[in-house]
């Protein structure tokens, strides 16, 4: 199966840092309570002059600059998000203009909750194949601070803002994926009526620790590999306890799992991309490494790919 390779990555997070102690001044909570249950220490919130399109643009510019490609080669733009400034036009269309990219390309947003980056990779690969595009741009971006009910400590302590981008190209090296959806509307949602994030925390935890090991097993079997053959596991940064539980279930050391949840919290569709970008920039992931990306999210979506 024709796959994709990641040529470069980029990221952008807002300048405003919200620590656990800061949140404790707003809602009944504490640094100890949050860290024990989530592994989070801080997260970033947008400030003056920052919005989701701005974060997306800055992350995309960095990825394009680092890729070494001519930006005229970009034939597909995918932005994965649930928190764009507009219902329409899409953030992807706004990026085409801000980045000065060619007009004869496909640009669209993908809404798959925290699984957005994986769904975006599947979408961009298919569209690049259909259009024989030389390169594509995928961005996962969220401004979830605008969706929080700051009186609800079960959700307001979890989420942060940020954007991550990758420039990708088609590749003949093996690519394997497993993706699905269960159509649930209650586990995690953002209702139009109030615009706030609602989440069944226990239900989400149970779903994640059951489903993620299952889909990892399926994609590893598809690839004809073993868990030991995977060099890096880059999972959605929802909760440190979830990642630790998954590592235990697949019998792999935590050293193989990229973790940065303590700095960013849960950034939904940006989460996998932010972890991937950090791993590249610190030279943790190197050319030719076999990397598994996996996420789960609202709508009971799930997806995993091996690149």
Distance CA 62, CA 234 (A): 21
Count how many Cα atoms sit within 13 Å of the Cα of residue 119 in the half-sphere of its side chain: 26
Exposed/middle/buried for residue 93 (C-beta within 10 Å: 0-12, 13-18, 19+): middle
CA distance 127 to 120: 10
Within 13 Å of residue 152, how many CA atoms lie on the same side as its CB? 15
* Distance, first Cα to last Cα, the chain: 12
Question: Token digits for 180?
Answer: 């699905």
Place of tokens 């701005």: 54
- Tell me the CB-side half-sphere exposure of residue 232, using CA atoms within 13 A: 21
**What residues act catalytically?**
114, 236, 266
Task: Give DSSP secondary structure letters for 22-41.
Answer: HHHTTSS--HHHHHHHH---
- Tell whether omega for the bond before 109 is within 30 degrees of 0, i.e. cis: no
Q: What gap in Å lies between CA 293 and CA 241, rounded to an integer?
A: 18
- Chain mean position to CA 72: 25
């Amino acid at each position: 199966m024709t796959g994709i390779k990641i040529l470069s990555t980029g990221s952008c997070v807002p300048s405003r840092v919200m620590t656990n102690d800061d949140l404790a001044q707003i809602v009944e909570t504490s640094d100890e309570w949050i860290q024990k249950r989530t592994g989070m220490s801080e997260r970033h919130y947008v400030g003056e002059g920052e919005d989701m399109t701005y974060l997306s643009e800055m992350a995309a510019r960095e990825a394009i600059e680092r890729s070494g490609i001519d930006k005229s080669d970009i034939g597909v733009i995918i932005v994965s998000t649930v928190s764009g400034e507009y219902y329409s036009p899409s953030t992807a269309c706004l990026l085409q203009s801000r980045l000065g990219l060619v007009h004869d390309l496909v640009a669209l947003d993908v809404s798959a909750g925290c699984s957005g980056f994986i769904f975006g990779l599947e979408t961009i690969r298919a569209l690049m194949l259909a259009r024989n595009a030389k390169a594509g741009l995928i961005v996962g971006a969220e401004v979830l601070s605008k969706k929080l009910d700051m009186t609800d400590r079960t959700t307001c302590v979890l989420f942060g803002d940020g954007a991550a981008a990758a420039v990708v190209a088609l590749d003949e090296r093996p690519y394997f994926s497993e993706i699905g959806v269960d159509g649930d509307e209650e586990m995690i949602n953002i209702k139009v009526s109030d615009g706030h994030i609602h989440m069944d925390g226990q239900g989400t935890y149970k779903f994640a620790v059951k489903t993620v090991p299952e889909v990892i097993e399926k994609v590893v079997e598809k690839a004809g590999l073993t868990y030991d053959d995977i060099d890096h596991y880059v999972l959605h940064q929802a909760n440190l306890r979830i990642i630790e539980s998954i590592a235990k279930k697949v019998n792999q050391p935590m050293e193989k799992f990229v973790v940065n949840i303590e700095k960013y919290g849960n950034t939904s569709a940006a989460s996998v991309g932010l972890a991937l970008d950090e791993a590249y920039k610190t030279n943790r992931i190197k050319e030719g490494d076999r990397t598994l990306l996996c996420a789960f999210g609202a709508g009971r979506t799930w997806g995993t790919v091996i690149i």
